[in-house]
Amino acid sequence: MQPFVYDALPGRIVFGVGRRHEVPGEVARLGATRVLLIADGAAAATGDELASGLGAALALRWDEVVQHVPVDLADRARAAATEAAVDTVVCVGGGSATGLAKAIALSHDVAVVAVPTTYAGSEVTPIYGLTGGRHKQTGRDLRVLPRVVVYDPELTVGLPPRVSGASAFNALAHCVEALYAPGANPVVSALALEGVRAIHRWLPVAMEQPTHLDARAGLLYGAYLAGLALGSTGTALHHKLCHVLGGTFDLVHADAHSVILPHAVAYNAPALPEEMARLAEALGAPGADPAGALWDLAVASHVPTTLAELGLAEADLPEAARRATAEITVNPLPVDEARLTALLRDAHVGRRP
């Protein structure tokens, strides 16, 4: 075995159906006395439930949540947190609600208790993001890492299929790239492969039967492992390509994951025989091509498989390849414009890799 370094991250995980009811107890356990509760419109009912459970410890409620955490929103939430003298932030919602709680924790000495309702995985990473104008600045800081995460699969039952599929493929991409991105190590790979197994098994079921609680629990477990993997490693071709497509061409960022992942894996596979063999096994296709298995999973889950259906024009492909080539500095195989253009052409029409 190769020597390795692994900075394991701290955090308490409370996982199970109905466990959102334990949030007030978890908050009390931290010794919190003044809580800021973040819950957007989609999480309003859970927010009401938690607000009554928190009782006198609730100092302030906040319902404005915007994707990618605009700086102006973060500043207003921080000012409100100062005025209410909060010592703890409880966030209920997807990666955007967690992102706002992290923005507050970056500048205030507060503990974060996260109650995720999507498969973003942000709740177990020390990564934060803030957006000023069209530029998103991201960073890593242990102060933003939630102290407690309460996973309740019941909270994900109302997630619309489009968001479920995109969010789960985002999680799957975290698991896949963690196998070979900078920081990869055998411990994180074991977690990531378990995440792949869970998502592969339960995503098609959750897409067909959104109220299937075992499927929702399996997906949430996979998303948790994916978040752990992302929090300990970097990213490579897949994430950078999705970032360029989302940032430059205004595609819904999350929707690109299911389209790009099979092609990104096919691109890097020749450099990663061992990782690909383990990935294929986790995808239930031992000895087969994992890129094809990922494509089959996307089809079985009824998630997007073509850039065309996301609204990207064929004429934009060379520009996307040019920008991505400039951005991708770390990847198992070198990238060049011609090969990325070919990858994007396959992704545009949805050719099975």
Question: In this complex, which beta carbon is closest to ligand NAD, that of residue 43 or of residue 317?
Answer: 43
Q: Is 94 one of the binding residues for ligand NAD (CB under 6 A)? A: yes
Question: In this complex, which beta carbon is closest to ligand NAD, that of residue 223 or of residue 280?
Answer: 223
Residue 181, classified by CB atoms within 10 Å of its CB into exposed (0-12), middle (13-18) or buried (19+), is: buried
Q: Are strands 135-140 and 127-132 parallel, antiparallel or unpaired?
A: antiparallel
- With CB under 6 A as the contact rule, the residue among 88, 117, 189, 325 that binds ligand NAD is 117
Task: Tell me the longest C-alpha to C-alpha distance in the chain.
Answer: 61
Q: Is 95 one of the binding residues for ligand NAD (CB under 6 A)? A: yes
- Which H/E stretch holds residue 90? strand 88-93
Kindly state the smallest distance separating residue 286's Cβ from ligand NAD, in Å.
30
Q: Is 118 one of the binding residues for ligand NAD (CB under 6 A)? A: yes
- Which H/E stretch holds residue 346? helix 337-349
Kindly state the smallest distance separating residue 285's Cβ from ligand NAD, in Å.
27
Q: Is 68 one of the binding residues for ligand NAD (CB under 6 A)? A: yes
Q: How many residues does the chain have?
A: 353
Kindly state the smallest distance separating residue 25's Cβ from ligand NAD, in Å.
22
Q: Is 331 one of the binding residues for ligand NAD (CB under 6 A)? A: no
Q: Is 122 one of the binding residues for ligand NAD (CB under 6 A)? A: yes
Residue 237 makes CB contacts below 8 A (sequence gap 6+) with 264, 267, 268, 328, 331, 335
Question: In this complex, which beta carbon is closest to ligand NAD, that of residue 41 or of residue 286?
Answer: 41
Q: Is 40 one of the binding residues for ligand NAD (CB under 6 A)? A: yes
Q: Is 93 one of the binding residues for ligand NAD (CB under 6 A)? A: yes
DSSP-assigned beta bridge partners for residue 88 = 35, 111
Count of residues that interact with ligand NAD, criterion CB under 6 A: 27
Residue 102 makes CB contacts below 8 A (sequence gap 6+) with 69, 112, 122, 128, 144
Question: In this complex, which beta carbon is closest to ligand NAD, that of residue 149 or of residue 280?
Answer: 149
Give the x-and-dash track for 249-288 against ligand NAD (CB under 6 A). Answer: -----x----------------------------------
Q: Is 163 one of the binding residues for ligand NAD (CB under 6 A)? A: yes
- Give the DSSP letter of residue 269: G
Residue 270 makes CB contacts below 8 A (sequence gap 6+) with 333
**Positions 13 through 32 that interact with ligand NAD (CB under 6 A):** none
Kindly state the smallest distance separating residue 65's Cβ from ligand NAD, in Å.
7
Q: Is 99 one of the binding residues for ligand NAD (CB under 6 A)? A: yes
Beta strands in 188-249 (DSSP E): none
Structure tokens at 172: 């799957």
**Positions 198 through 237 that interact with ligand NAD (CB under 6 A):** 230
Question: In this complex, which beta carbon is closest to ligand NAD, that of residue 120 or of residue 198?
Answer: 120
DSSP class per residue in 39-86: E-GGGHHHHHHHHHHHGGGEEEEE----TT-BHHHHHHHHHHHHHTT-
**Binding positions for ligand NAD, rule: CB under 6 A:** 40, 42, 67-68, 93-97, 99, 117-118, 120-122, 125, 127-129, 155-156, 158-159, 163, 167, 230, 254
